[in-house]
Structure 1
Amino acid sequence: MADWGPVLVATLLFVLLTPGLLFQIPGRNRVVEFGNTQTSGASILVHTVIYLGLITIFLIAIGVHIYAG
């Protein structure tokens, strides 16, 4: 059986935490901007840290597993 939990969690978090797609921390003019497609190096770094933190929580601490087959 294949464990699809890590694949789905990583893909979902990557799409949701892409800087500028849904939100951007820090924004150009404000702390949080929504729907802004302009990114900066600082926002990429912040979103990377948030992504690594959440993926660690979901995969290691909680242990999300989805089996197919």
Structure 2
Amino acid sequence: MKDWAPSIIASALFAFLSPGVIFQLPGKHRPVEFMNMKTSWVSILAHALFFGLLLMLFLIILQAHLYV
């Protein structure tokens, strides 16, 4: 059996946490901007940090598994 949870969780987090798609933290004019489709180096680093922390939470701490 193959465990599909890491692939699905990582893909979903990457899609939702891409800077500027849904929200950007920090924004250019405000602390949080929504759907502006722009990014900066600071927001890329912030979103990468959130991605890594959430991925560790789901895969290592909560041990999510999905066998198909």
Give the TM-score category using the shorter length. Answer: over 0.9
Matched, 1:8 2:8: yes
| The structure with more strand, counted as a fraction of residues | 1
| RMSD value, Cα | 0.3
Alignment gaps of 5+ in structure 2: none
SS at match of 1:2: coil
Residue equivalent to 1:64 = 64
Percent of residue pairs identical: 46
2-side partners of 1:55 and 1:30: how far apart?
A: 27
Written as runs of structure 1 = structure 2, the 5 A alignment for 1:1-69 is 1-68=1-68
Q: Displacement of 1:45 after TM fit?
A: 0.2
TM-score, normalising length: structure 1: 0.97
TM-score, normalising length: structure 2: 0.99
Alignment gaps of 5+ in structure 1: none
Count of residues paired in the alignment? 68
1-side partners of 2:29 and 2:38: how far apart?
A: 11
